[in-house]
């Protein structure tokens, strides 16, 4: 028996409440920017600067015990990650402890590093500290600029690819939907003050890739239907295209969310921000593919008179 998340031959009118769906998305984008400007982002050590301490011990690393030992020191943002490597011996247990800059200093002071060492020795007397490295504000600023550049270049490349693959109206709609996804994700991180670090940037790039994949599937079906139903109203053809791909959209998003929710609940504190960003991005990315991208294309319009009978434009036969 085949599982169906949506019945065959659905005929939902996705434009019926477009003032609410598309207009609500635009309002949400504006509010996200306002929240971002007013509350700012809770930058992690990667962007604020701080110190990374590498520990090594004979006993198995207990992240919870390490964190409990460091809590009385009131160090602010502390990330503890166990390091796994097949080259390590059975008695070689390594962890990375990242501590944010204290009171505007470039790194954690030597006295505080000593205090951290003493606190951890109460948990594991065999612990040693092979290396202590600091990230100053200059490096953090470079990381912020590199992260912004990575997101910007990816959006520009997608804009160019969608233009080649379809039409310029499609590329504008797709990139607007991606901006929608990124801005709403940054907005929710600012509102909830979830730690924003390089892992979150990786999550944003993952969201962009996931969302554009879903949008391209709908656009590809739309292009086929625009050739097949030349005289049919553009809005009706768009509705038909979304309905025809609805089962695939729900199945892909649903199975992805199953894995992400499991990681969100069971994955632990280290990856929770990363997983939350992708989970949120899958939801808003699916929404934007259905309710945002096609509304932009509808407003811009598509010239259907100059299309040959077998392809959308001169670049349409490029393999995805």
Domain ranges of the chain: 18-42+140-300, 50-135
The pLDDT score that the predictor gives to residue 201 is 84
Distances (CA, A) of 179 to 17, 98, 111, 249: 22, 31, 45, 20
User: 14 or 279: which carries more pLDDT confidence?
Assistant: 279
The pLDDT score that the predictor gives to residue 312 is 44
The pLDDT score that the predictor gives to residue 233 is 83
Q: Tokens 């909830």 appear where?
A: 192
The pLDDT score that the predictor gives to residue 214 is 83
Say yes or no to pLDDT of 316 above 50: no
The pLDDT score that the predictor gives to residue 5 is 58
With a pLDDT cut of 70, the percent of the chain lying above it is 86
| Average pLDDT of span 61-65 | 86
Say yes or no to pLDDT of 219 above 70: yes
Name the pLDDT band for 218 (thresholds 50, 70, 90).
confident
Say yes or no to pLDDT of 184 above 90: yes
The pLDDT score that the predictor gives to residue 138 is 58
| Average pLDDT of span 190-203 | 85
Tens digit of each residue's pLDDT (9 = 90 or more) over 85-117: 777 777 788 888 888 776 655 556 677 778 888
User: 56 or 46: which carries more pLDDT confidence?
Assistant: 56
Distances (CA, A) of 42 to 39, 53, 97, 200, 275: 9, 21, 18, 11, 17
Question: What's the topology of domain 50-135?
Answer: Alpha-Beta Plaits (3.30.70)
| Average pLDDT of span 2-20 | 72
Say yes or no to pLDDT of 318 above 80: no
- Give the H or E element holding residue 134: strand 128-135
pTM over 0.95: no
Q: How far apart are CA 228 and CA 225, in angstroms?
A: 5
Q: Give the highest mean pLDDT range of 140-149, 256-265, 310-319.
A: 256-265
The pLDDT score that the predictor gives to residue 314 is 44
Estimate the share of the chain in helix, then strand, then coil, as percent rounded to the nearest 5.
60, 10, 30
Say yes or no to pLDDT of 320 above 50: no
| Average pLDDT of span 177-205 | 87
Weakest-pLDDT range from 127-141, 261-275, 291-305: 127-141
Say yes or no to pLDDT of 203 above 90: no
Closest to 105 (Cα-Cα) out of 43, 40, 51, 145: 51
Say yes or no to pLDDT of 259 above 80: yes
The pLDDT score that the predictor gives to residue 185 is 92
The pLDDT score that the predictor gives to residue 102 is 65
Question: Domain 18-42+140-300, CATH 1.20.1640.10 — does that match?
Answer: yes
Say yes or no to pLDDT of 291 above 80: yes
- The Cβ-side half-sphere exposure at 193, using a 13 Å CA radius, reads 3
| Average pLDDT of span 272-282 | 89
The pLDDT score that the predictor gives to residue 12 is 79
Within this chain, domains 18-42+140-300 and 50-135 share the same CATH topology: no
Give the other-Cβ count within 10 Å of 87's Cβ.
Answer: 5
Q: What is the mean pLDDT of the chain?
A: 80
Name the pLDDT band for 315 (thresholds 50, 70, 90).
very low
């Amino acid at each position: 028996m085949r599982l169906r998340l949506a019945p065959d031959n659905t005929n939902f009118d996705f434009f019926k409440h477009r003032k609410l769906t598309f207009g609500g998305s635009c309002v949400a984008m504006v509010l996200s920017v306002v929240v971002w400007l007013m509350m700012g982002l809770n930058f992690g050590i990667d962007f604020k600067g701080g110190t990374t301490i590498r520990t090594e011990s004979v006993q198995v690393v207990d992240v919870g015990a390490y964190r409990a030992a460091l809590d009385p020191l009131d160090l602010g943002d502390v990330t503890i990650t166990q390091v796994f490597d097949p080259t390590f011996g059975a008695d070689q247990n390594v962890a990375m402890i990242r501590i944010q800059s204290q009171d505007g200093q470039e790194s954690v002071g030597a006295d505080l590093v000593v205090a951290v060492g003493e606190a951890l020795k109460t948990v594991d007397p065999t612990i040693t500290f092979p290396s202590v490295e600091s990230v100053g504000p200059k490096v953090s600023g470079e990381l912020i600029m590199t992260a912004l550049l990575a997101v910007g270049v990816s959006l520009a490349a997608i804009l160019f690819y969608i233009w080649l693959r379809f039409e310029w109206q499609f590329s504008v709609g797709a990139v607007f939907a991606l901006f929608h996804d990124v801005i709403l994700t940054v907005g929710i991180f600012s509102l909830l003050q979830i730690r924003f670090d390089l892992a979150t940037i990786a999550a944003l790039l993952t969201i962009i890739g996931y969302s554009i994949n879903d949008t391209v599937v709908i656009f590809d079906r739309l292009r086929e239907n625009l050739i097949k139903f030349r005289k049919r109203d553009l809005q009706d053809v768009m509705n038909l295209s979304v309905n025809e791909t609805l089962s695939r959209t729900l199945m892909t998003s649903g199975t992805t969310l199953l894995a992400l929710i499991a990681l969100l609940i069971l994955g632990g504190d280290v990856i929770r921000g990363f997983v939350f960003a992708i989970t949120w991005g899958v939801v808003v990315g699916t929404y934007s593919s259905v309710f945002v991208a096609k509304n932009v294309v509808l407003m811009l319009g598509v010239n259907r008179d100059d299309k040959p009978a077998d392809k959308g434009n001169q670049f349409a036969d490029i393999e995805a």
